[in-house]
Amino acid sequence: MHIWVDADACPRVIKDILFRAADRTATPMTLVANQLLSVPPSPHIRALQVEKGFDVADAEIVRRVAAGDLVISADIPLAALVIEKGGRVLDPRGELLTLANVRERLSMRDFMQGLRDAGVETGGPAGFSAADSRNFAAALDRILARKPAA
Domains of the chain: residue spans and CATH: 3-145 (3.40.50)
What average pLDDT does this structure show over 80-106? 91
Tell me the C-alpha distance between 26 and 31, whole Å: 15
pLDDT at 124: 64
Q: How far is CA 100 from CA 1, 39, 79, 107, 133, in A?
A: 23, 34, 11, 11, 24
Please determine, for residue 111, whether its predicted confidence score (pLDDT) is greater than 90: no
- Residue-wise pLDDT tens digits, 9-61: 899 999 999 999 999 999 999 999 999 999 999 999 999 999 998 889 999 99
Per-residue pLDDT at 115: 75
Q: What is the pTM of this model?
A: 0.86
What pLDDT is stored for residue 73 in this prediction? 96
- Contact 28/3 with Cβ under 8 angstroms? yes
Judged by phi (left if over 0) then psi (alpha if -120 to 50, else beta), residue 105 lies in alpha
Residue 41 gets which letter from DSSP?
S
150 pLDDT above the threshold of 70: no
